Amino acid sequence: MSQQQGTKSNPVGKIKTRNAIYPILIGLAVVGWMFYKDFDPQVFSSISFSWRTLFWVLAAFLCMFGRDLGYIIRIRIFSNGQLSWAQAFRIIMLWEFTSAITPSAVGGTSVAIIYIHKEGISVGRSSAMVMLTSFFDELYFVILLPLMILTVGQAQLFDLSEVTDSLLTMSLMTIALIGYFLKLFWVLILSYGLFINPRGLKWGLLRIFKLKPLRRWYRAVNNVGTDIILSSRELKTKKSGFWVKSFLATLLSWSSRYLVANALILAFFGYADQLLLFARQLVMWIMMLVMPTPGGSGFAEYIFTHFLGDMMPVAPELQVAAGTLVALAWRLITYYPYLIIGAVIFPRWLNTHFSRRAFKKKV
């Protein structure tokens, strides 16, 4: 059995490392267009390079370490310690790589079960771990966004009149609300299936997807329903400490992700409203849920500039230019490294688990 044959019917086999070039090209094209259209070299006069700059740039990298550390800790918790630190690191890097080269609405979840299973976890438990990951990630957004709105206020969160027009502001609000309610709906569905009635949820979903317009997704929904049932059985044995530690790890990973931008703005331009900046990033990531480009490329850079531009403590006429500059640095730290790391790890992992030698070992 060759590697090609072993991966032909496997969703992992459809992932190509060369696809990493597309989000890079899209992102750089959008940034280049924004530099050409709106960049003002005078923005560099607002940057004072000093030891403070170096400190906050290093803090931005440390936040990215915190993001990955939170994910690694959480997946080890989900495995009850069965996964080693090295295995957990490998899974997270592969997962992030897949997310980076697929549309934001798809992400790496569809193949994450295979990544976990190939590290020695049973299929049922792998499904449960992926379901738990999705549950905690969406729960973070569902809880944090209302808290941020209550803390900073809706007007502050969406008032972009200084850098863009009201029509775009309304459009961004609409996208954010759609994304939020999609997440809320998914959390409610998962909660019902995982904790109340998994078989009833599967039955209901299959009834819905028997309808002719939805029939093409029937088999996929059947698999999801089975995963929910398996996950529900796994979760019945968990104690309160498991849920607390898992949510704290989620809090660490997602909050660290957002604090990268806070650190970069502090590095280049000094103090900004840190809580409002954090809250706007929460909304921005919800918007990225519905974007069709790989890893949100293009849209992420554009929305960062125009949604966070007025947070830059510079003259109003320089805010878009400052936002473009920080957006590029932000993507260089938070996105492109995963494309590089994944492109190195993925071919070796694929050869190890789907090569002829690996197949013979299993036989």
Average pLDDT over residues 40-67: 85
154 vs 247: which has the higher pLDDT:
247
The predicted structure's pLDDT at residue 24 = 67
- 51 compared with 291, residue with greater pLDDT: 51
What number is the average pLDDT over the span 282-292? 75
- Residue 6: what pLDDT? 42
pLDDT of residue 358: 45
Interacting residues of 314 by C-beta distance below 8 A, sequence separation 6+: 43, 46, 269, 322
Q: What pLDDT score was predicted for residue 205?
A: 79
Give percent of the chain with pLDDT exceeding 70: 79
> Is 261's pLDDT higher than 50?
yes
Q: Residues of the chain with pLDDT > 90: what percent? A: 20
Per-residue pLDDT at 11: 57
**Looking at residue 142, what is its pLDDT?**
92
Q: Which of 344, 307, 309 lies closest to 326, judged by CA?
A: 309
pLDDT averaged over every residue in the chain: 79
* Helix 21-38, helix 299-308: angle, nearest 10: 40
pLDDT band at 139 (very low <50, low <70, confident <90, very high): very high
pTM for this one? Answer: 0.82
| Distance (Å, whole) CA 280 – CA 323 | 14
Q: What are the pLDDT digits (tens) for 192-207? A: 888 888 888 888 878 8
pLDDT of residue 219 exceeding 60, the answer is: yes
Residue 15 has pLDDT above 70, yes or no: no
